[in-house]
Amino acid sequence: MYGRANILVIDDDEAIRDSCRQALSRDGNRVEVADDGLMGLAMLKKESFDLIILDLKMPGLAGMEVLNEIKGDDPEAIIIVITGYATIESAVEAMKRGAYDFVPKPFTPNGLRMIVKRALEKKKLALENVLLRAELKYDFEPKVIIGQSQSMKGVEDLVLKVSPTDSTVLISGESGTGKELVAKAIHRHSRRKDKPFVVVDCGSLVENLFESELFGHVKGSFTGATETKYGRFELANGGTIFFDEIGNISINFQIKLLRVLQEREITKVGSSQVIKVDVRIIAATNKDLQKVVKEGTFREDLFYRLSVVPIALPPLRERREDIPLLVNHFLKKYNKKRKKKVRAVSDQAMKALVEYDWFGNVRELENAIERAVVLTENEVIGPDDLFYYGLAASTASRSNADKAQRLIDVEREHIIKTFKMFSCHMGKAAEALGIDRKTLRLKLKKYGII
């Protein structure tokens, strides 16, 4: 739970309701009140609360019954029980039924605030543990290397301008151009930098589980839902959610996502509770979304919602002057990571790297340098160390025209060999080559292999 908390107080005593509201509002929390159990349950059906303060002794529906109802609908609900009839028996019973803590009347404002603060910290810790288990929380490099070319300086300027705002950003570019790195840079320079950065890979999520992954679900909402689950939006609350390859989501889910962007609220699968979310949206795509909109497979209204600030990343082959900078960065990175002592890249090897087209862009270049660092037995990477990427030593001293032709031939031969080595398995061959599946498919088509 990040930012101010939504708290519901259920108590038939008006003085208690008012004192709770005043005490907890001082800490910036939003406090809603209900004067009996039925009203409280009705409010919980419409909206989700981070914490509930519940009186055990009320006319009509008793506090214990309300406690059972709340826990039945949401086992993760944090409830602090208060009563003027403080007995060990009632305290133990309330705790057995899932109450977080027990406060006897009368209580002081500071005492109540201390207990509420501990309870909210517990929920925050639970969310952070889910983030860590799901590997959704990312470590950031001190500085993302973007480049010194004019095109990338323009991108960097735009990143620095848009970061402090909460504007929705759409990053476009070929696979491997660094869209996620730019999204992380925007988050790192924003006011949300100390809050979660949650990634949603729209290309890997199964369609029928998409809603559950993003919005969460309650226990028993469908076969296999054995426990209540936090969705990505809830995990990202207060921070940034990054939709990678947003162009892959279906029309049906585009409608649901558009509603979230408009209303800034979600509902778990199997629940009617509305959960308010405060997240910044950053999306990325390797498709021409305007073209996809015209084709009718992407909603125009969602496109305009996402592209408030568009950022276009040029492919690496259009900014070759950045390649030496990136090479040296990756050389330092993988020397440290692989515990190697490779001092530099030779002039011939660097010339070959700069002249290569890098259809897998920065990701392919990084993979090439990592493999060269791992495999070389020398202190300087030479053309021989780059053979696996179609950059054979025999091509290094050729004329530019001859070299360009031979690089294509060597690349074609290497791709065919690797593709066959993995029994034409697209995913495994792409991973071995250090490129993504789409890039491999394009190369295979280019060379007439498929």
DSSP of 266-333, one letter per residue?
A: E--BT---BEE---EEEEEESS-HHHHHHHTSS-HHHHHHH-SEEEEPPPGGG-GGGHHHHHHHHHHH
Q: State phi, psi for 47 to the nearest 5 degrees.
A: -150, 145
Q: Are 222 and 180 in contact (CB under 8 A)?
A: no
Position 424 scores a pLDDT of 77
Candidate CATH numbers 2.60.15.10, 2.30.140.10, 3.40.50.300, 3.40.50.2300; the one for domain 150-314: 3.40.50.300
CATH 1.10.8.60 residue window(s) in the chain: 317-446
Whose CA is closest to 51, among 109, 105, 106, 4? 4
pLDDT of residue 8: 96
Q: What is the pLDDT of residue 90?
A: 80
- Is the overall model pTM greater than 0.75, yes or no? no
Inter-residue contact 103 to 112 (CB < 8 Å): yes
Residues 363-387 have pLDDT tens digits of 889 988 988 898 888 999 988 888 6
DSSP secondary structure string for all residues of 150-182: HHHHHHHHHHHHHTTS---EEEE-STTS-HHHH
Measured between alpha carbons, how far is residue 437 from residues 115, 366, 423 in Å? 52, 17, 15
Judged by DSSP in three states, 145 sits in coil
Topology classification of domain 317-446: Helicase, Ruva Protein; domain 3 (1.10.8)
Q: Is the peptide bond before 315 cis (omega within 30 degrees of 0)?
A: no
Q: Render pLDDT for 91-117 as a digit per residue (tens, 0 to 9).
A: 778 888 989 988 888 889 999 999 999
pLDDT confidence of residue 270 = 86
Class of 6-133 in CATH? alpha beta
Q: Which residue positions in the chain have pLDDT lower than 50? A: 136-138, 142, 388-390, 392-405
In the structure encoding, which two tokens stand for residue 444, read together? Answer: 């295979």
Q: Where in the chain is the domain with CATH 3.40.50.2300?
A: 6-133
- At 47-96, the pLDDT tens digits run 889 999 999 888 889 899 999 999 887 888 899 998 776 566 787 788 88
**200, 241 in Cβ contact below 8 A?**
yes
CATH 3.40.50.300 domain residues, the chain: 150-314
